[in-house]
Amino acid sequence: MKISAQSENSLSTLRREGKLIEREIRSRDPNLAARVEDVARLVNPAQSPAIPRPAGLPVVLTVFFLLIVSALSVIILNDNFFLAQFYIQSAIVYFILMIFFVIFPAFAGMYLISRGYSLGLEIHYWLSLAALILSLAACAVLAGKFLRGDVSLFALITQVLVVSLAFFVRRLMRSASFATTVRRCRTLRIVATLREWRQDGKEKF
């Protein structure tokens, strides 16, 4: 469902409007008091639950560059051009998968969020999970190569360190700008719901 326009309004303005509509609904239909209380708790930033702010794209990009670094390390340390070719081919395939299954949908999800579609939040969340799964799969492949003796210990340690760094970066990517965007979308959705309640007096939440 597309949230009705007014994305240019500030969050404070939207919250004030939501609170005014909330009071009006309370005065017209006391039976909706419990449901309105839930909505009011979301409108009020002090009582809002934590906002999920996934950022799986840095993880995927990190693994991609790691494949390139692994190829270079194999050439420098082991002088094994066949294995280096395997890493380069893997990086190319991985990059193509990123474009179709991660990068393009991620930007699409952010666009939907900016336009006020709550579906964008779901897309961004599942893409974050997919990015982590792809990264862990890359770790598993490299670990298997190491157990068979095809990969140096240096390459395996590098893989583990970079993926660990990627998880750390994922924690740091909880930026205030993204949180504000998500909160704006949530507030717009709540205010739109309150408007519908005020219009026809029926519960739609």
Main-chain dihedrals φ then ψ at residue 132, nearest 5 degrees: -65, -40
Residue 156 and residue 89 share a domain:
yes
Collapsing DSSP to helix, strand or coil, 4 comes out as coil
Residue 89 and residue 61 share a domain:
yes
Residue 126 and residue 108 share a domain:
yes
Residue 164 and residue 128 share a domain:
yes
Here the tokens at position 185 are 């979308």
d(CA 192, CA 194): 5
pLDDT of residue 55: 47
Residue numbers of the domain that contains 165: 57-173
Nearest CA-CA partner of 186 in 101, 123, 117: 117
Tally of structural domains, the chain: 2
Residue 74 and residue 169 share a domain:
yes
d(CA 59, CA 143): 18
Residues of the chain where predicted confidence (pLDDT) is lower than 50: 1-8, 41-55, 172-176, 203-205
Residue 196 and residue 152 share a domain:
no
Is residue 3 one of the residues assigned to a domain? Answer: no
